[in-house]
Structure 1
């Protein structure tokens, strides 16, 4: 009994120390005191080298440290915020603007820490999403895509029993993971870089391999086919989505659009009519307008 009590006491002490380190680091991080942050992290690592919050804290430390801002003078207006410089004739002589870049060494250290954390704590979805966020920020789209696919594949292994900060169990792990990945798909789409359509296809295909009824991924896949003028493939995948949910008006409207693209007016009208039947007010108005144009 005494031995059990001693073990329990030591476990409680370790938990308390970990929470103190976490709180102290949070205070130093908010104060942007990098010297104090590193001091706390090093002490924390000696005390509890496998603590999951240690890895997320190290990751945040290095990722923030990696972010650099330089102010430069240019003749052309730079992207983002800038200030126009004018000459004595009040003509624009140049621009002063800031540019954000990420130091490669600190960025590498951030990824090394979070990768180790993911290896030791593979169910921590916040670690995986934190890494994906950083990869998107630095526009490393290949690794961004690979990490999303790794997460999708692991969801089959852990049956979506995901954990978050402080090992809090994530409710509706599957829904949360898939909705978050949908936002990452939108991030790829919003780059307007056609070269990244294949990345969207890979992500959507990896999801459908495990979750074949995921309508969002079917829609994403269809969009990439339409944009690459593979209209028949786009329509085919959307028809599968319709079977999954015949009342999904977004799917129905996209099917109508696909048929319109290949010049099949009759089928386009048919699906715009289905859209009117199941859509919201805005979508109904859009579908009616499309039908009028097709009947001219």
Structure 2
């Protein structure tokens, strides 16, 4: 009877603590949406004293400091950034081009950002299976364009995923649905973010991420395709084809892979092989890729004459 009573009391305490933590998290969300930074900090300090082992506390501190680190300046210059830009025109109405611009420029205070990263690092150390914490950290490195750390954190996450057999959890320790698919699709978005910088010095970052994925999942078509793009941009066409032809064996109807194979052969000057693969794109591609394939086939045929 005593064991039953003890278990019952422990259950009540656990439920009470969970409800208490959820109340803190809900209140923080309300204060955050209002932009009440004083209220947020007061709540965080109270929360930390009451339940400093709550994983949501680390996420809340991280969000507080990252948001506090964000600063905006009104800038006068010649390289406009952001969505709102005002043109400064010359007094001489015959001059049509702006002589300058006024625009908002965002930067992040290193001290506050550092505090936020310290909290999320502590959270990851204590709760390493919290994928939201890891992705939050990656997101911030993307914001400040620190692509070395951005890439490093992505690779750490991929490597740890293999150790835990993809058993990830999210906010309030909720299991991630189809965790491997979710992880890889998000990583693919991060790779696209790097690619869209159009910075060739970051090609090795793309390559490192693709290789990290392929180490755990050798048949991941998107990573094989990413690897091939890196090699093509480096003009290493044979290496690009090696990755692409492997991807084709895994999924012979992937029109992106087929189109990339055609492009690689085209760049190598192998017109007939390029045409062969563009014809496959005509068979399996969407409307846009089919139209592009038609144009390329016509161009390649002219090149052969």
Q: Provide the TM-score with structure 1 as the length reference.
A: 0.95
1:15-74 CA-partner distances (Å, limit 9, x unpaired) = 111011111111111111111101111111111112111111111000000000112333
Residue in 2 that maps onto 1:259: 265
Residue in 1 that maps onto 2:124: 118
Residue in 1 that maps onto 2:19: 16
Structure 1 stretches of 4+ with a deviation exceeding 6 A read none
* Of 236-245 and 271-280, the range deviating more from structure 2: 271-280
C-alpha spacing 1:285/1:51, structure 2 compared with 1 (3 Å): same
C-alpha spacing 1:96/1:212, structure 2 compared with 1 (3 Å): same
Report 1:185-200 matches (<5 A).
Answer: 185-200=191-206
Q: CA deviation at 1:94?
A: 4.0
Partners of 1:280 and 1:86 in 2: CA distance:
46
Partners of 1:33 and 1:280 in 2: CA distance:
48
* Of 275-284 and 24-33, the range deviating more from structure 2: 275-284
Match of 1:97 among 97, 103, 116: 103
Q: Residue 270 in 1 paired to residue 276 in 2? A: yes
Partners of 2:87 and 2:112 in 1: CA distance:
33
Residue in 1 that maps onto 2:250: 244
Residue in 2 that maps onto 1:157: 163
SS in 2 for 1:73: strand
Q: Which runs of 5+ in 1 are unaligned?
A: none
Partners of 1:283 and 1:77 in 2: CA distance:
35
Residue in 2 that maps onto 1:208: 214
Residue in 2 that maps onto 1:49: 52
Q: Residue 35 in 1 paired to residue 41 in 2? A: no
Partners of 2:219 and 2:193 in 1: CA distance:
22
1:265-296 CA-partner distances (Å, limit 9, x unpaired) = 12111111222222223322222221122112
C-alpha spacing 1:230/1:84, structure 2 compared with 1 (3 Å): same
Residue in 1 that maps onto 2:80: 78
Match of 1:4 among 2, 7, 12: 7
Partners of 1:189 and 1:86 in 2: CA distance:
35
* Of 1-10 and 233-242, the range deviating more from structure 2: 1-10
SS in 1 for 2:103: strand
